Structure 1
Amino acid sequence: MKKYKVAFVCVHNSCRSQMAEGWAKQLGSDLLEVYSAGTETYPEVKPLAVAVMEEAGVDMSGHHPKLLSDIPEQLDLLITMGCNVVCPFVPNQYSEDWGLEDPSGGPIEDYRVTRDLVKAKVLELVARIKSGEIPLA
């Protein structure tokens, strides 16, 4: 089966897009070549994001924020997290925005809610690709 290049993008690549990368690598590794990136630099992945993903069995301890210039120039899927960011154009076959609120600065419970929403969206994305609902060449 062909692997599709997917990138999850938000402003800092420090929370939601990192969670999406972690889930997609775990839940869609047979189908997806996974990347995440941000449009601005940031010093670290949010420690609470790493902690709640660890609770769910996803190790993000080696993750670090990346920029769009760190990922492939051509993607099959581009998923933005809902940060009202206008991304520079990244060639892709399909894109969508997930409209997720950033839990940064909130309590750990907010991170858990985001983690679970991201997992559900990644599972849905994988199912939609497999079913052919998302048209990819």
Structure 2
Amino acid sequence: MNMAFVCNGSGVRAQLAAGIARDFFRDVEIIAAGTLDEAVDPNVLQVLEENGMDGSGIKPVTLWDLPEQLDYAVVVGCDEGGCPLVFADKVIEWDITNPKELGEAGYRTAASELKEELKRLWTEFNPE
């Protein structure tokens, strides 16, 4: 199974989501995608490290490099240009704070929001 986290622009929210999701969904291929071809944001790595998570495996791709078949696509943020268009068996949309608008504290806020959403998603996958 695969799951892509998708965001407009550099995909910072997607990178954060991918790093956090790897702690929840260990047997799932996790992908971070943005509309721009950029490297992992150093602030993403810092926030993940602060939370005891390893961001070294995050390899962002552009929307055009996503696999043809996606099981899940989670749109984690839409900006002025609207939401990225993605196709998957199931598409989920979350409205996560754009960390770049709030500076360093914004990365922590976005990470906290993503953790809560990912906990809910994990519970849907693993009902007790």
Which TM class, normalised by the smaller chain length? 0.7 to 0.9
Shift of residue 78, structure 1, vs aligned partner: 0.9
**Contact 1:75–1:93 at 8 Å: present in 2 too?**
yes
The within-5 A match list for 1:18-29 is 18-29=15-26
The answer to whether the aligner puts 1:35 opposite 2:16 as a matched pair is no
Q: Partner amino acid for 2:125? A: I
Shift of residue 13, structure 1, vs aligned partner: 4.3
User: What TM-score, normalized to structure 2?
Assistant: 0.83
Structure 1 segments unaligned to the other structure (5+ residues): 132-137
Query: C-alpha deviations, 1:79-135, integer Å up to 9, x for none?
Result: 001214333342x2211211112111533222111111111111211111223xxxx
Q: What CA distance in whole angstroms lies between the structure 1 residues aligned with 2:72 and 2:35?
A: 17
- Taking a change above 3 Å as real, the CA distance of residues 62 and 128 of structure 1, as seen in their structure-2 partners, is closer
Shift of residue 65, structure 1, vs aligned partner: 3.1
Q: Partner amino acid for 2:50? A: E
Shift of residue 10, structure 1, vs aligned partner: 0.4
- Taking a change above 3 Å as real, the CA distance of residues 116 and 109 of structure 1, as seen in their structure-2 partners, is same
Q: What CA distance in whole angstroms lies between the structure 1 residues aligned with 2:126 and 2:69?
A: 21
The root-mean-square deviation of aligned C-alpha atoms, in Å, is 2.1
| Residues paired across the two proteins, number | 126
Q: Partner amino acid for 1:77? A: Y
Q: What CA distance in whole angstroms lies between the structure 2 residues aligned with 1:56 and 1:29?
A: 17
Q: Which has the larger radius of gyration?
A: 1
User: What TM-score, normalized to structure 1?
Assistant: 0.79
Query: Percent same amino acid at aligned positions?
Result: 31
The answer to whether the aligner puts 1:81 opposite 2:54 as a matched pair is no
Tell me which protein shows more helix as a share of its residues: 2
Q: Partner amino acid for 2:44? A: A
Q: What CA distance in whole angstroms lies between the structure 1 residues aligned with 2:121 and 2:10?
A: 20
Pick from 1, 8, 20 the counterpart of residue 5 of structure 2. Answer: 8
**Contact 2:48–2:55 at 8 Å: present in 1 too?**
yes
Pick from 58, 82, 106 the counterpart of residue 110 of structure 1. Answer: 106
Query: 4+ residue stretches of structure 1 with deviation over 4 A?
Result: none
- Taking a change above 3 Å as real, the CA distance of residues 93 and 62 of structure 1, as seen in their structure-2 partners, is closer
- Taking a change above 3 Å as real, the CA distance of residues 5 and 115 of structure 1, as seen in their structure-2 partners, is same
**Contact 1:7–1:79 at 8 Å: present in 2 too?**
yes
